[in-house]
Amino acid sequence: MGVSAHNSDDPWLNPEMLEWAREWRGLTLDDVAEKFKKTPDQIRAWELNEASPTVKQARRLAELYHRAFSEFFLPSPPDIPKPKALPDFRLHKDVLDASHEWEVEQLQQWAETQRESALDLFQEIGERPPQIDADLFFSVKNDPEEAAMVARGKVKFSKDDQFGLKKAQAYTLPNILRAKLEAIGVLTLRHSQLKDYGIRGMCIAEFPLPTIVITKESATAQAFTVIHEFAHILLKASGVTGPRSKDYDNVPEERWCDRFAAAFLMPKTLVEDALGKKPGKPKSGISDEDLEAAANLFRVSPHAMLVRLVHLGFVAAKYYWGVKKPQFDEQERSEKSFGRPKFYGTRYQSQLGDMYTGLVMEAWSSGRITNHNAAEYMGIKNLKHLNDIRREYLGE
């Protein structure tokens, strides 16, 4: 593709917007030149009004920059506030790729947009979002064991909710936990792309309606992550979390949240009921069969179960870090994502959660928002699919 000569009397787009869009996307001239098989100087010429891209090239630029093509005709850049920076608790150095900073920021922006939309929907239907009980807020100075037991009672997560699940129903535990948290005022979302950047969970601790985002992992991993992020909310500590390394011992918030999640899902009393009192000295190891059996009982992963047994003094920490941790890391790296649900709309509901989906359905069914508005809130282009979601959700 060639570069057309520029006619200074009749520019067909605003070249300054090309530069703005590229910088907003976090790309260098070299990055763009490589995509277009051109030199950086040729790309820069488009931005300096010394030459013009063709319409086809400009549309490709818009796609590359994740901006609307129509924005290239604006007289000046739109005001797009950057999201508030979140503390980054991804402790494995191999996931901290600076080139993905823009993508991570956009995922955070997506989560914040869903939260703002949910607050708007509450206003549309004339209701206030649930308020989290003040007794549920803690600090890292609080005992995570005690805090977890208080929280487990407040969200009404009973022993039967967990142990009553048949093995074939274990995959539903993350959804059960999400529903419990949404009932007390936490918006829960899921976004598969988090995993691409070494992120297991994200927490926006803004009130009302603090927001948790998890990613596609095994059901047991999702269950642990959603409670870990819930712990961040109870500490009023926003953050991005990822795979663990020994470095996390130096991060009080992460250590507290991990122990809270472990105590929430595997209460000490229930562990002792299942395995007996802890030994006088931690055992040097545990068989894979015994570990699997204990994990299945609590509907958690063997990884989470072993960490809990180490914390409670059943198994030596050396066995976890020296023997099992490398195995768990390898298993998690090779784990495949789940396929799409059979029902098309289920993946939208799964992504946005029951609270958000319910708000859209209620506002739409009551005539407070239009079909078009409902589709925009759900991120759906085809209205037929929106009607399918309503029938499925309302059981029509």
Task: Find, among 101, 121, 102, 124, the residue nearest to 113 by Cα.
Answer: 121
- Enumerate residues 6+ apart whose C-beta is below 8 A from 107: 191, 193, 194, 197, 199, 202, 213
pLDDT in tens, 212-271: 999 988 899 999 999 999 999 999 999 999 877 666 667 899 999 999 999 999 999 999
Query: Strand, helix or coil at 18?
Result: helix
Q: CB–CB of 95/258 below 8 Å?
A: no
Within 10 angstroms of residue 78's Cβ, the number of other Cβ atoms is 11
pLDDT beneath 70: ranges in the chain = 1-11, 91-99, 245-249, 335-346, 394-396
* Separation CA 212–CA 185 (nearest Å): 11
pLDDT in tens, 51-94: 999 999 999 999 999 888 999 999 999 888 777 878 888 765 55
* Separation CA 19–CA 28 (nearest Å): 10
* Separation CA 101–CA 198 (nearest Å): 12
Give the CA radius of gyration of the chain: 25
Q: What is the pLDDT of residue 186?
A: 98
Q: CB–CB of 272/308 below 8 Å?
A: no
Q: What is the pLDDT of residue 395?
A: 63
Q: What is the pLDDT of residue 346?
A: 67
Task: Find, among 46, 41, 42, the residue nearest to 17 by Cα.
Answer: 46
